Structure 1
Amino acid sequence: MTLTDLRDGFRDDDQRQCVQAAVHCRLADDREPQECRYLMRFWWQLSMPYQEVSLEELRLNVGRQKLDALIDLISAIRSSHEEIDAWLAAAEQTFPVIQDRGFSLDSDG
């Protein structure tokens, strides 16, 4: 299954940017560099017409809970704008915003 059609499934750029923000701020944790790398490739895939990452690469490199969320998102994108909105609401409930501990340590002193 190719992921090159994802950018065409959003209501508008605002909805796509909200989904990208959720992937970036709630799923991609740089304390898990390999997983983060593939989540950010998926983040990029949401706005690109070419294949940045495959579903198989995601399966191999992303943890089960986050992978399930991505699969749900792909399904929502291919279904309806309302399902994308529902995915966003669920992601906000399920995944807290990731705190950048390196930045906070550096800024504290």
Structure 2
Amino acid sequence: MTLTDLPDGFRDAEQRRCVQAMIAGRLADDHEPQECRYLMRFWWQLSMPYQEVSVAELRLNVGRRKLDVVMELISAIRSSHEEIDAWLAGTVRTFPVLQDHGFSATSDNHD
């Protein structure tokens, strides 16, 4: 299954930005660098017409819980704008906002 159709599934650029913010802010935890790297490649895939990441790569590099959420998102994008909105609402309830540990480490050094 290729993911190159995903950029065309959003209502508008704002809906895509909201989804991308959810991925970056709640799923792509820098505590898990390999998983984070592939989630951020998926983040790019949502805007790019070429293959940035494959489902197989996601399956190999993303934990089960987050992979399930990503697969739900792919299904929502291919279904309807309302399904994307429902995915956003569910993800907000399920995943807390991540703390960027790289940023925290640099800010702690400047106090």
Range into which the TM-score falls when normalised by the shorter chain: over 0.9
Quick check: 2:45–2:52 contact (8 Å CA) kept in 1? yes
- Between the aligned partners of 2:50 and 2:75, the Cα distance in structure 1 is 19
In the superposition, the TM-score normalised over structure 1's length comes to 0.96
- Between the aligned partners of 1:72 and 1:15, the Cα distance in structure 2 is 16
Which structure 1 residue ranges, 5 or more long, are not aligned?
none
Task: After TM superposition, list the pairs within 5 Å mapping 1:68-79 onto structure 2.
Answer: 68-79=68-79
User: Following TM superposition, by how much is the alpha carbon of 1:106 offset from its aligned partner in structure 2, in angstroms?
Assistant: 3.1
Task: After TM superposition, list the pairs within 5 Å mapping 1:28-107 onto structure 2.
Answer: 28-107=28-107
Question: Given residue 33 of structure 1, which amino acid in structure 2 is its aligned partner?
Answer: P
Instruction: Find out whether 1:24 has 2:44 as its counterpart.
Output: no
Quick check: 2:30–2:101 contact (8 Å CA) kept in 1? no
SS in 1 for 2:52: coil
Question: Given residue 58 of structure 2, which amino acid in structure 1 is its aligned partner?
Answer: L
User: Following TM superposition, by how much is the alpha carbon of 1:31 offset from its aligned partner in structure 2, in angstroms?
Assistant: 1.1
Aligned length: 109
In the superposition, the TM-score normalised over structure 2's length comes to 0.94
Runs of 4+ with deviation above 3 angstroms:
none
SS in 2 for 1:78: helix
- Between the aligned partners of 1:32 and 1:104, the Cα distance in structure 2 is 16
Which structure 2 residue ranges, 5 or more long, are not aligned?
none
Q: Structure 1 vs Structure 2: percent identity of aligned residues? A: 77
User: Following TM superposition, by how much is the alpha carbon of 1:102 offset from its aligned partner in structure 2, in angstroms?
Assistant: 3.5
Root-mean-square deviation (Å): 0.9
User: Following TM superposition, by how much is the alpha carbon of 1:36 offset from its aligned partner in structure 2, in angstroms?
Assistant: 0.4
